[in-house]
Amino acid sequence: MIPDYATIKTETAAPHVLLVTLNRPEVANAFNTQMGRDLLDLWARLVAEPGDVRCVVVTGAGGRVFCAGGDLKERNGMSDAQWQAQHEIFERQYWTLLDCPMPVIAAINGHAYAGGLEFLLACDFAYAVRTARFALTEVTLGIMPGAGGTQFLPRAVGERRAKEIILTGKPFSAEQAYEWGVLNKLCDAETLMPEAMETASAIAGNAPLSVRQAKKSMAYGMQMDLKTAFRFEVEAYNRLVPTEDRMEGIRAFNEKRKPVFKGR
């Protein structure tokens, strides 16, 4: 069971779809220590005991900013040790998000800066409103991206484009983010959540073990040479052959009906 959290809201928004809302709109949904702890706990629960959750959608409260990154007011005056201890929580939150077995879709309803953009990049893919802007501003503050930005962004937009974005700290538009591969889709404000939920529901309607194995194969295979990745894919594929869902899928196809997948 997912508990109530101080800084994020969770709700079942559609069958098998969990909606997660970053809920600190008064500070542009900036990450404070508690939000790091809350998100870490949520992802760890979904890794260990996903229950009937088959897809996750993440958005921000308030409608203007998805996430402004780290809460610099909380960080003001921190000692080096306190800063690094907090950042360790943030790091673990991001890496546990990467381990989440079901797809995580970012529904970007406003600007995503610094750690907010890194959060987007750690999700499996993202839709965004056309008015959103994006930046990794860390070098303008005497630090650098430290939650995957220097790794995720080059993989999304290419090394040369990523160097320009990260080393200047300048913002870019939603149209540019879409053209460069950061976003999968641009939406109007009123259609963002319906479109994200439609995609999440389509994923949640597929065989959940198949979706998880395919996600795992892509995530790990991209880090391997091609032949090793192919063998990894086949091993992931073979795990699905004896499942009830595989048999149900073939049976439903031949009976010309919609399959009823149970995740086993």
Q: Assess contact for 77 and 97: CB atoms under 8 A.
A: no
What type of residue is 231?
Answer: R
Active-site choice (118, 164, 179, 233): 118
Q: Which two tokens stand for residue 262?
A: 């149970």
Active-site choice (138, 164, 195, 255): 138
What type of residue is 224?
Answer: M
- Please give the C-alpha separations between residue 242 and each of 51, 141, 210, in angstroms, as whole numbers: 21, 53, 12
Active-site residue 235, yes or no?
no
Q: Assess contact for 166 and 136: CB atoms under 8 A.
A: yes
Q: What is the 3-state secondary structure (H, E, C) of 59-109?
A: EECCCCEEECCECHHHHCCCCHHHHHHHHHHHHHHHHHHHCCCCCEEEEEC
Active-site residue 91, yes or no?
no
User: Which residues are designated catalytic?
Assistant: 118, 138
